[in-house]
């Protein structure tokens, strides 16, 4: 294992740095075991600490081929996601992210987010109630990614992985309508790089402005201002972000009444 890690690190160091402007990623779904399953196995085995046998891969990709996506840069597979969707014993129609891999050199380009979003869109379109996954507690990058998409930490699983590391089980409850954009006709090409990153920054800036406006509305209600509309004082108060997260204030809002001042005797 140590020798494999050292060889992989040396190979990555020898590669030329990516120019984000030149990165075009082609996505394809799973449709052919002869040409795809070995590619998936090699990628996952090289990047993840957990070993899987071919029967595990076949269980997922043969039963839910529409929830497996491969990402290609030229003729090189640089990312894959494998999920499933079935009825859970709790009564929910539950999606599950089994494996998500992006080669280290292609990370921080938004590729992992795009792979997850594609599967979440399929899940919700097929009527899923929620989606679950596990992630190593020390994998800060993955935790940030899933939390930005609306996943919350459900519980901590001690020594969940074979390497002895703990895991967080994370959960996402779907809301209607689907919060992820519908695929477009040219959606087979994903352009990464500075243009994509600038769009993400603009989304963040707009969300911060919305939060500021929401805070002002709440402050006005706390002050009992008369110009606060009826709509702002009910369930309609919410904050949308790029994912199924809402900040809600359920029920009727009653502004605080001014304290009665006691007159001196």
Q: What is the DSSP string of 201-228?
A: HHHHHHHHHHHHHHHHHHHHHHTT-TTS
Q: What is the DSSP string of 46-88?
A: HH-SS---HHHHHHHHHH-GGGEEEEEETTEEEEEEEEEEEE-
Kindly report, residue by residue over 150-160, the tens digit of the pLDDT. 999 999 999 99
The whole-number pLDDT of residue 103 equals: 93
- In terms of DSSP bridges, do strands 24-29 and 76-87 run parallel, antiparallel, or are they unpaired? unpaired
50 token code pair: 């957990």
Backbone phi, then psi, for 134, in 5-degree steps? -120, 145
The whole-number pLDDT of residue 250 equals: 37
Q: Is 98 helix (H, G, I), strand (E, B) or coil?
A: strand
The whole-number pLDDT of residue 23 equals: 81
The whole-number pLDDT of residue 197 equals: 58
Where exactly are the structural domains of the chain?
A: 2-192, 193-253
| Bridge partners, 26 (sequence order) | 72, 189
Kindly report, residue by residue over 44-69, the tens digit of the pLDDT. 988 887 888 999 999 999 999 999 99
For the chain, which ranges sit under pLDDT 50?
Answer: 13-14, 181-190, 193, 226-258, 261-265
Q: Is 167 helix (H, G, I), strand (E, B) or coil?
A: strand
Kindly report, residue by residue over 63-86, the tens digit of the pLDDT. 999 999 999 999 999 999 999 999
Q: What is the pTM of this model?
A: 0.63
Largest CA distance in the chain: 93
User: What own/partner pairs with CB < 8 Å and gap ≥ 24 does 36-39 have?
Assistant: 36/61, 36/70, 37/61, 39/70, 39/77
The whole-number pLDDT of residue 122 equals: 94
**Number of residues assigned to the chain:** 265
Gyration radius of the chain over CA positions: 23
The whole-number pLDDT of residue 176 equals: 65
The CATH number given to 2-192 is: 3.40.630.30
């Amino acid at each position: 294992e140590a020798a494999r890690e050292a060889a992989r690190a040396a190979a990555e160091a020898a590669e030329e740095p990516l120019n984000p402007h030149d990165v075009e990623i082609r996505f394809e779904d799973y449709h052919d075991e002869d040409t795809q399953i070995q590619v998936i196995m090699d990628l996952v085995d090289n990047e993840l600490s957990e070993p899987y046998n071919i029967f595990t891969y076949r269980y997922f990709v043969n039963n839910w081929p529409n929830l497996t996506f491969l990402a290609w840069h030229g003729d090189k597979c640089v990312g894959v996601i494998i999920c499933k969707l079935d009825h859970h014993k709790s009564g929910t129609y539950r999606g599950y992210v089994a494996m998500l891999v992006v080669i280290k050199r292609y990370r921080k380009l938004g590729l992992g987010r795009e792979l997850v979003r594609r599967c979440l869109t399929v899940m919700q379109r097929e009527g899923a109630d929620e989606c679950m996954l596990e992630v190593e507690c020390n994998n800060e990058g993955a935790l940030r990614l899933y939390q930005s998409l609306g996943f919350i930490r459900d519980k901590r699983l001690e020594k969940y992985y074979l390497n002895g590391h703990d895991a967080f089980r994370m959960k996402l409850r779907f809301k209607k309508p689907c919060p992820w954009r519908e695929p477009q006709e040219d959606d087979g090409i994903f352009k990464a790089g500075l243009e994509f990153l600038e769009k993400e920054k603009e989304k963040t800036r707009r969300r911060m402005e919305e939060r500021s406006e929401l805070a002002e509305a709440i402050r006005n209600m706390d002050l009992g201002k008369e110009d606060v509309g009826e709509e702002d004082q009910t369930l309609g108060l919410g904050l949308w972000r790029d994912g199924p997260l809402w900040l809600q204030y359920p029920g009727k809002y009653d502004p605080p009444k001014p304290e009665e001042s006691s007159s001196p005797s």
